[in-house]
Amino acid sequence: MSRFGSSKTIRQVKGAKIDEQHRQELLKHLNTTLLSGNLKEAVALPEGEDQNEWLAVNTFDFFNQINMLYGTITEFCTKDSCPIMNAGPAYEFLWADGKKVKKPVALSAPEYIDELMTWVQDLLDDETMFPSQDGVPFPKSFKDTVKTIYKKLFRVFAHIYHAHNQKIVQLGEDAHLNTCFKHFLFFVKEFDLVSNSDLAPLEDLVKTFLSDK
């Protein structure tokens, strides 16, 4: 059983940490390919582009998307309704960031997600990890850090699907959630960012979405 952490409220991302004009060009490419309906093409590294910059742009966008999705059900995800950050009875997540919290601790789902989003935003705002100046290289640890970000962001999807899917449907957000998650899956598979064992809490859904090209 996989176990990690939890948190409180969500902070808004402050902005991208790569050259803004170039970021907009990459976003335009991403949106154009997404509209084509070909997710394999949409997530692929554009010809001639730096992989780390592509990972950075998509990390910002997925962070924003997941923030917005979770924001639609925050009033229903409380310490009382979700005292444990989990994805059904088989998977409980404990929080640890390796620095401030080295020993994994149990938190409620809203506490875990707040800690997670704050931790991700701090990384996105870190010039040494996500440099904003043109020509400044990404650190050698960049992809490993990105993998950790995506592994943890997946847990938000897992909790929403297991604990709040009915409310998502009632709110009419299910198509948006499914589209966002499917895009997320194709991206993490394209760049080997999340292992199959970490995707296990949504194994059936993962198989269904990945088989639907």
**DSSP H or E segment with residue 146:** helix 142-163
* pLDDT higher than threshold 60 for residue 23: no
Which residues are bridge partners to 100 per DSSP?
A: none
Which of 190 and 49 is assigned the larger pLDDT? Answer: 190
Lowest mean pLDDT among 7-11, 39-43, 100-104: 7-11
- pLDDT tens profile 154-182: 999 999 999 999 999 999 988 889 889 99
Q: How far is CA 151 from the centre of its chain?
A: 7
Helices and strands (DSSP H and E) totals, the chain: 8, 0
Q: What is the mean pLDDT of the segment spanning 19-31? A: 49
What gap in Å lies between CA 78 and CA 106, rounded to an integer?
15
* Residue 86: φ, ψ to 5°: -145, 175
> What pLDDT does 133 receive?
78
- CB crowding 21-51: b at 16 or more within 10 Å, else e: eebeebeebbeebeeeeebeebbeeeeeeee
Domain boundaries along the sequence of the chain: 66-211
Helix (H, G, I), strand (E, B) or coil at 206: helix
Superfamily of domain 66-211: MOB kinase activator (1.20.140.30)
- Tell me the CA distances in angstroms from 35 to 17, 61, 99, 113, 138, one per residue in order: 25, 16, 40, 30, 30
- pLDDT tens profile 26-83: 445 445 544 446 788 889 998 888 999 999 999 999 999 999 999 999 999 999 999 9
